[in-house]
Structure 1
Amino acid sequence: MGTGIYRPQRNYGCRIHDQVTTFGMRTVVLENDKVRVSILPDKGTEIFEYLYKSADLDFMWLSAQGVQNPGAYLPTSPDSVSSFIDYYPGGWQEVFPNGGPPSLYMGAQFGQHGEVAHMPWDYEIVEDTPERIGVRFRVRPKKVPFELRKTIRLELGSPALFIEEELENLAGLPLQFMWGHHIALGQPFVEPGCRIRLPEGAAIVTEEMDSQVPPGRVKRGKRYEWPLAEDLNGQRFDLSVLPDRGEPSDIVYLTGFEDKAWYEVENQRLGLGLRVEWDGKQFPHAWYWQEFGDTKAYPWYGRHYNIGLEPFCGYPTSGIEESLRNGSAGTIGPMQTLRFWLRTVPYEAKK
């Protein structure tokens, strides 16, 4: 909940709107002269809008399902995958302490993408001036003894969104986890021909051929130097250029980042790009999910063209059990606190 302290209303500079709801869910809107960012504390601090004002362009992908309130109706098939997917609107979710499908850890059974993405978070406004605003969010998962805190900020004159996070282990023993930012980009920003840039030395990691994940564009069981990979016929192709609609859907994992990790997605036709920077020491990977309209069954039915570029601690998408086996899961000591930062920067590119 908010602080309950009276704040002068303001219609200029940086400002916060938190006396509004979206389909009955508390909504916190951070706004300045460059961008508007809309967040749902009642649904995992989901970011469903990141609007770049000068172009009237929202970077966040909005699925055909749209934003929904999970409490609005009783699911007809309440399982641990559909409880996430049926209410997934695109946008940007915090994923913790499991990434991917249902998985088991220390006797706790996690559903799709863990717990916190659908939990209500508390919040307080920690800074509110025309020059700078900040809101701190806080949650404790039900199944594991953690507290996760994050502060989101905007500054006047900048389209950049700043996120600083703390993960605290409330137990007297070491624990492990998967933790990530599920950032999905789609129309009108993402389209065939868009380009993805990564730092020099980045690599592509794939799952084994016997993975439960259906085959996609990339030949599995191999590691590639970005941006070239092999298709199922052994032909090389460029993963950095988004293909025409109808190409097979896929997911690979990006690694080889330095302490300051980053990627850029650029639409040269629109002359716009989005740069995402983060703490590569804490999150040494990024998941690259590709949905180009080829999935004809549940849940997409051929309707979407979008990508997810998701900074992550741990891979693959098969869940925390596999990340423990491959050594990519995060580790935190007894009563320890880990810190993480992430920054997104919309920019104008040459057409």
Structure 2
Amino acid sequence: MRRNWAARLRHVTIDGLRAVVLENERLRVTVVPGKGGDVVEFLHKPTDTDFVWLSPQGLRAPRDHLQGAADDVAQFTDHYEGGWQEVFPNGGAPSEYRGARLAQHGEVAGLPWDHEVLADDEDEVAIRLRVRTRRLPYRMEKIFRLRSGTAALEIEGRAVNDSDVPLHAMWGQHIVYGHPFLRPGARIRLPEGVRVIPHESAINPAGRRVRAGGPWEWPRVPADDGGETDLSVVQDRGAPSDIVYLTGFNEGWYEIEGDIGIRVEWDATLLPYLWMWQELGASTGYPWWGRAYTVGLEPFSSMPTDGLAAAVANGTALILEPHETKVLRLRAEVMA
């Protein structure tokens, strides 16, 4: 019998795409295996707060993603519904690696993943997703788990090199926040000792220390009126459309909060960088048209956002030895 209490799981269809809803007393998480295993809802039920940003263009099926793309950027951007994507094996701009042309943010974010139910009882629900890349010989899986009574989503991901040769990759979590959760005055907290690397300096990742002591607080998220911001404390400029890279994490975590908050924890030995991307209504051309008020806080293995070839060149790309498996554990918990 289908439950409507404690931990529970439902299969639904959203805009023609199969999706799975993991839910308990405090949290509702919607995952779309049919498009990259994207998380398109992370809703704190007691406060009716959804932490993911949803793009005005909405959710589009992967068949459109694969057939309707005019170029390597459009393959991701024209079908980006917001939410939370797995990025692998290329991060950021299109890139070429050993004869393989890799599109914006790699392959897996646009592919349909297979899925199966691992647990479905009152104590916990869990699903496992699997996919194989098409340009490089990788296999990936991830498990989403939600336990009764908690406001935390647990994720375990695996990346497997299925070949007899060592390969490079970039692996990231494209987590982007927006309205109604993200408002002017929200604060971002990070561990002690974190350094910021401006995008222009990312080829030489020496970085610079931001502030002694800790945990320290990022300046407030600015208003979306196009005015000056106070992010210049940690950046060379306070541009409302920009990206920087943070590193030096002894512990992989951040918190972002206003009236309510979320804490994301991850293995910083595997993903030692945090990309901070902000698009605060400043870009009035393609693809945002002034409609995006977002901040991305994205744990990543590598940098910069120029793609895998650049990460190989600066020594930050992951290396997976023949038939090696790398395991990533991540947790996202609402602070209320």
Report the CA distance shift for 1:173/1:226 in structure 2 as closer, same or farther (over 3 A). same
1:208-219 → structure 2 map (5 Å cutoff): 208=200
Q: 1:146 aligns with which of 120, 138, 142?
A: 138
Q: Aligned partners of 1:307 and 1:296: how far apart in 2? A: 17
Q: 2:274 aligns with which of 264, 286, 299?
A: 286
TM-score by length of 1: 0.87
Residue 311 of structure 1 corresponds to: 299
CA drift at 1:192 = 1.2
What is the SS of the residue equivalent to 1:42?
coil
CA drift at 1:72 = 5.2
Q: 1:324 aligns with which of 298, 301, 312?
A: 312
Residue 235 of structure 2 corresponds to: none
Q: Aligned partners of 2:68 and 2:146: how far apart in 1? A: 40
CA contact (8 A) 1:227 1:240 kept: no
Q: Judge which range, 183-192 or 65-74, deviates more.
A: 65-74
Q: 2:328 aligns with which of 340, 343, 347?
A: 340
Q: 1:12 aligns with which of 2, 5, 30?
A: 5
Q: 1:302 aligns with which of 271, 274, 290?
A: 290
Q: Aligned partners of 2:33 and 2:205: how far apart in 1? A: 39
- The number of residue pairs the alignment matches comes to 319
Report percent identity of matched pairs.
45
Report the CA distance shift for 1:226/1:274 in structure 2 as closer, same or farther (over 3 A). farther
Residue 124 of structure 1 corresponds to: 116
CA drift at 1:339 = 0.9
* Structure 1 residues 140-167: Cα deviation after superposition (integer angstroms, max 9, x where no partner): 1011111111111000110100001111
Report the CA distance shift for 1:109/1:9 in structure 2 as closer, same or farther (over 3 A). same
Amino acid across the alignment from 1:297: G
Q: Please say if 1:109 is aligned against 2:101.
A: yes
Q: 1:32 aligns with which of 24, 27, 30?
A: 24
CA contact (8 A) 1:174 1:334 kept: yes
Amino acid across the alignment from 1:317: T
Q: Aligned partners of 2:57 and 2:265: how far apart in 1? A: 29
CA contact (8 A) 1:206 1:222 kept: no
Residue 233 of structure 1 corresponds to: none
Amino acid across the alignment from 1:264: E
* Structure 1, unpaired ranges of 5+: 1-7, 212-219, 229-237
TM-score by length of 2: 0.90
* Structure 2, unpaired ranges of 5+: 227-238
Amino acid across the alignment from 2:315: G
Q: Aligned partners of 1:184 and 1:261: how far apart in 2? A: 17
CA contact (8 A) 1:191 1:305 kept: no
